[in-house]
Amino acid sequence: ISDMVVVDLEGNIIEGNNRPSSDTPTHLEIYKSFPQIGGITHTHSNYATIFSQACRTIKCIGTTHADHFNGTIPVTRFLKKAEVEKDYELNTGKLIVTTLKNINPLNNPAILVAGHAPFVFGKDANESVKNSLILERIAEMNLKSYQLNPKLKDLPKYISDKHYKRKHGPDSYYGQK
């Protein structure tokens, strides 16, 4: 914890003696664009990164996915050369925001950055870490399922909707309250 650096939404250091992460501009752009996000986890976990590097979405093919993510996990386009050469991290954040423009990032709390790795969200830091671990498991299951059956189809929407809604939203009933 002594190595952590806390910054405000302008990138000013509030707490800590080290430099902020080089990815801070990416995170700040996401936080500013989606105030409902209270935590972001960026990893290079094996399976989710494989999908990012392959520029492949993670489709909802099973109920484990549907229990936690409301739809396909999207993948961005590649950053353009000019976006990399000037303000790379900021432009990564802008690309994430643009790709998520029609997605509620708390209902489908992950995105894969093409050629890079996942960014995962939550209402707080703990939830973003939890979602990151779930994303990694789903990515592994997705890859192995496609290896067994390359012609696999998406889970029917009525099943994925049922699994998502029974755990999330005002009419949820799954588990203990």
For the annotated catalytic residues, the residue numbers are 67, 174
Residue-by-residue DSSP string for 7-70: E-TT--EEE-SSPPPTTHHHHHHHHHH-TT--EEEE---HHHHHHHHTT--B---SHHHHHH-S
Q: Which helix (H) or strand (E) holds 121?
A: strand 118-122
Residue 94 near residue 29 (C-beta atoms within 8 A): yes
